[in-house]
Amino acid sequence: MAREAIKERTLIYIQQNKHTIIMKILVCISHVPDTTTKIQFKDNKLDTTGVQFIIGPYDDYALARAVEIATETSGSVTVLNVGTADTEPTIRKALAIGADDAIRVDAEPTDAMFVAKQIVEVAKKENYDMILMGRESSDFNGGLVHGMVAEMLGIPSVAPTMRLDLEGNTATLEREIEGGKEVLKLQTPFVAGCQEPIAEWKIPNMRGIMSARKKPLQVVPAVEAENVTAYESFELPASKGDCKMVEPDQMGELVRMLKEDAKVL
């Protein structure tokens, strides 16, 4: 009788959880200057003096949704960053938000193809159900890495992903397209380049901050990969010109200024 009871309870549990599959998620994060930072260049490089760095804003959305999915499915979240040792405080913040462990590929992320190959090398060693990242990093705004990773792994890529729902191993994703939205259904594994409103940003609490100190952060060497692009120079946008005010009853003067001074008419 006891065996029958156990068997019956097990069957009920399986039936109740038949659509729940434990998800193993890789979230790729970038280490970028805070969006309020005043950018300066020195020797044709970003001058990092006094610059505060954060998780890429779009990556933050990807991480938040990954933590939600892992919680719903009793899954796990691994964060991955391609960067030097100074990115580790940013990685620890991702752990404090809810990631379970982290990997840092010890290299300077100088090229999208280089970064994509490092991600692929890590992804090949584990069977991740999904790879999430921001639709683009907020420093270079290339929006290339997610597509490259998917192509090299031979799996689908969807970007910019605004909604991600799961039922078993079937995902429903909504992305923004010109003039509207597109809803796609696909099987795991896949890559998604995320943006708002896929999830709400999560702010680490004290418990998360304390636990992040003990979570594993593995540092691995970069694989050899050629940089296929290079930046020759950087320059700041031209400063805004003076603003000329025109009284409401001086429309003739406004037209003259637009024609003769601004030369836009």
Q: What is the pLDDT of residues 199-215, one digit of tens each?
A: 998 888 888 898 899 99
pLDDT of residue 106: 96
pTM for this model (two decimals): 0.80
100 vs 235, higher pLDDT: 100
Token pair of 233 as six digits: 């120079």
45-46 and 41-42 strand pairing: antiparallel
> For the chain, what is the mean pLDDT?
87
The full set of domains in the chain, from first to last, is: 16-240 (3.40.50.620)
Q: Dump pLDDT digits (tens) for 136-178.
A: 988 888 889 999 999 999 999 999 999 999 999 899 999 988 8
Q: Averaged over 31-42, what is the pLDDT?
A: 86
Q: Please name the residue that has the structure tokens 């090949």.
A: 124
Q: Dump pLDDT digits (tens) for 220-260.
A: 999 988 888 887 888 787 777 778 888 888 888 888 988 88
20 vs 2, higher pLDDT: 20
180-187 and 170-177 strand pairing: antiparallel
Strand partners of residue 82: 105
Q: How confident is the model at residue 9 (pLDDT cuts 50, 70, 90)?
A: very low
Q: Dump pLDDT digits (tens) for 177-203.
A: 888 899 999 999 999 999 999 999 888
Q: Averaged over 9-35, what is the pLDDT?
A: 70
d(CA 124, CA 240): 48
